[in-house]
Amino acid sequence: MDSFLFQAFIYLLAAVVSVPIAKRLGLGSVLGYLFAGIIIGPFVFKFVGVESEAILHFAEFGVVMMLFLIGLELRPELLWRLRGPILGLGGLQVAVTTVVILLIGFIFGFTWKVSLAIGLILALSSTAIVLQTLNEKGLIKTQAGQSSFSVLLFQDIAVIPILAVLPLLAAPILGTAEHSVEQIHHAGFSIEALPGWQQAILVALVIATIIIIGRFLVRYVFRFIAETRLREIFTAFALFLVIGIALAMQLVGLSAALGTFLAGVVLADSEYRHELESDIEPFKGLLLGLFFISVGASIDFNLFAEEPYLIVGLVAGLIVIKLVILFVLGFVFKMSRSQNFLFAFSLAQSGEFAFVLFSFATQNNVMPVPLADTLILVVALSMALTPVLMIFNEKLLQPRFSTLDQRPESDTIDEKNPVIIAGFGRFGQIVGRLLHANNIGTTVLDSKPSQIEMVRRFGYKVFYGDASRVELLHSAGAGEAKLFILTIGDKDKALEIAKTVKNQFPNLKILARAYDRRNTYELMDIGVEVIQRETFGSALELGASALKLLGFRNYQAHRAALTFKHHDETTLVDLHEHFGDDEAFLLQTRLKNQDLFELLSSDEEDKDETMGHSWERPGGM
């Protein structure tokens, strides 16, 4: 069955089955999609075959949408701040990798033209896999994530001159100017037929048009469409905008991904930015998934079976070469060791543009088809190994080096206060502000540089450091402090800190934020004195407000909330002894819930109208 519906069914089934399993095993969604492609491809179950190459080109539009969404997150001033890493780090990565692979090509007996073409193509990394993986793991905002993004952005820009250079490297056979123009037109790069100065003007006009339309016209169109209250038309226009920009960029021979990225940056200040993100995100996710499945399906295992040692050697060699170059560049640009490992392992593969560039190279007689096929297999395998490399870095290297990297970066603490606060995010700031307002001195610790930089701008003194380190706690005055307030959001890290404080400073009282009931019991097991579930108080207030809007008097809603609060806190303590015994815990929970229902049902309404009206104050409990 080769119908469109059957093919769509197979692709969706493969994704639905493989991705959740891969996520459950901690492998990430990208590896799940790649495995799905391998399973349904022509070398396992043969559900899809030669059409996967056409699907791959269609699915590359997912990369275009991803760059548009990333552009929406980057305001022009932030992009300007990244110009150093983009030009410096990105430019050096492409140049050094190209030269190294060119020299290795000489050793293998290739001409300098073939070696240069291979070096230029293999120097690129996978924008789709790297950014998807970093976003999925929440690492895109780290130093390594931002550096990786800068390098990838430079590589996307570099595709344009690479496309221009490849025809110049063509062998003299069939290399007439007439044939070259025909091949260029066949590949869709008709701008090459124009004189150089006309090409430059046309490119500048297209880019200027995108900026002007995005800055001054699109927001009015969005406003007009938004007033119709037809969500599907808004979504249709968003897709029309992205596809139109991609077509315009391809028309002048530029990268569609680069053009939509530029459009995203222009629209980053628009009031419709969030609406655009929510509308395009599902399409981006599906197309990226389709792209990864197509990559998996395109891996030629017949070629691998013919020369397994050669292919394995080439893949390993490519990854090692890029790892070494990236790690050296990260060291030159003063990245910490843990961030440098993340940066190097993120970009150690080749990228999706290699499929297009190798095809273009063979069309222009730059290299023979068998060589291009072998290198395409190497590229696909290196992309498939990227999530595995990321897991290797995350599980084995980061635990060993991240702590070592953080130690010399901790701030020197030059004050002693009765209260130490570990974590100064949205929860810790409220606690800290209340104490400061009552003239109580606090020593605040946080391990997120971006958070520290933000709160320092508001006049708060925050020290950088890992609160699980005993020497930092001594420096913060934990031996003399009265209270240790633990408000970090990472429950595993919070448990580690609480255990350290309890073991090293047994006289220091701990007040801790708990994520949920289970986390509360874990903190109770350690011996934490005061525990506050992070959403309990605000959820209780919201519930009381709901009761009032449903017709309850203020005093009735207030009394119901207080009764619920008292019962829940008592139940929490009573059920602690059953924590760990799921059957007994569930039974006792049901009994306690029934007790609560009966308690609230039997709570008679106060008949005193004077008392009732005395609670009726505008806007509150």
Joined together, the tokens standing for residue 432 give: 């800290």
- Given this chain, do its domains 39-173+200-399 and 408-534 carry the same CATH topology? no
Element (H, E) at 498: helix 491-504
C-alpha distances out from residue 612 to 167, 242, 463, 543, 608, Å: 86, 59, 50, 19, 6
| Contact predicate 6/19, CB 8 Å | no
- d(CA 349, CA 33) in angstroms, rounded, equals 17
- d(CA 397, CA 324) in angstroms, rounded, equals 15
Give the pairing of strands 442-446 and 419-422: parallel
pLDDT value of position 73: 66
The distance in angstroms from the start CA to the end CA of the chain is: 66
Name every residue whose Cβ is closer than 8 Å to that of residue 147 and which is 6 or more positions away in sequence: 85, 89, 330, 333, 335, 339, 343
pLDDT value of position 193: 61
Q: Tell me which residue of 379, 277, 401 sits closest to 335, measured CA to CA.
A: 401
Q: Tell me which residue of 467, 471, 475, 474 sits closest to 499, measured CA to CA.
A: 467
- Mean pLDDT, consecutive 10-residue stretches, the chain (621 aa), reads 73 84 73 83 75 62 73 68 79 94 91 92 88 78 84 80 78 42 41 63 81 80 78 82 82 72 76 74 77 76 87 94 94 87 92 78 85 88 86 81 48 76 86 87 81 74 81 84 88 86 88 85 86 84 87 85 84 77 73 72 52 45 42
Instruction: Supply the Cα-derived Rg of the chain in whole angstroms.
Output: 30
Helices (H), ranges, 25-60: 29-40, 51-59
pLDDT value of position 618: 45
pLDDT value of position 406: 43
Joined together, the tokens standing for residue 96 give: 């050094």
Residue 188 sits at φ, ψ, to 5 deg, of: 95, 10
The DSSP result for 332-361, as a single string, is: HTT--HHHHHHHHHHS-S--THHHHHHHHH
pLDDT value of position 178: 37
Task: Write the single-letter amino acid at 322.
Answer: K
Name every residue whose Cβ is closer than 8 Å to that of residue 82 and which is 6 or more positions away in sequence: 146, 149, 150, 153
Question: What's the per-residue H, E or C state across 168-195?
Answer: HHCCCCCCCHHHHHHHHHHHCCHHHHCC
Degrees, nearest 5: CA angle 90-92-96: 125
| Contact predicate 115/106, CB 8 Å | yes
Chain center to CA of 149? 11
Joined together, the tokens standing for residue 332 give: 């030159």
Indicate the DSSP class of residue 475: H
| Contact predicate 465/443, CB 8 Å | no
Q: Tell me which residue of 55, 89, 70, 88 sits closest to 128, measured CA to CA.
A: 70
pLDDT value of position 556: 84
Partner residues linked to 514 by β-bridges? 533
Q: Classify domain 408-534 by CATH architecture.
A: 3-Layer(aba) Sandwich (3.40)
Residue 513 sits at φ, ψ, to 5 deg, of: -85, 130
Indicate the DSSP class of residue 269: G
Joined together, the tokens standing for residue 274 give: 């969030």
| Contact predicate 40/297, CB 8 Å | yes
Element (H, E) at 522: helix 517-526
Residue 190 sits at φ, ψ, to 5 deg, of: -65, -15
- Residue ranges of domains in the chain: 39-173+200-399, 408-534, 547-621
- Global pTM exceeds 0.95: no
pLDDT value of position 185: 38
What would the CATH number be for the domain defined by 39-173+200-399? 1.20.1530.20
Q: Report CA dihedral (375, 380, 385, 386) to the nearest 10 degrees.
A: 100
pLDDT value of position 346: 92
Name every residue whose Cβ is closer than 8 Å to that of residue 580 and which is 6 or more positions away in sequence: none
pLDDT value of position 191: 56
Joined together, the tokens standing for residue 269 give: 């200040």
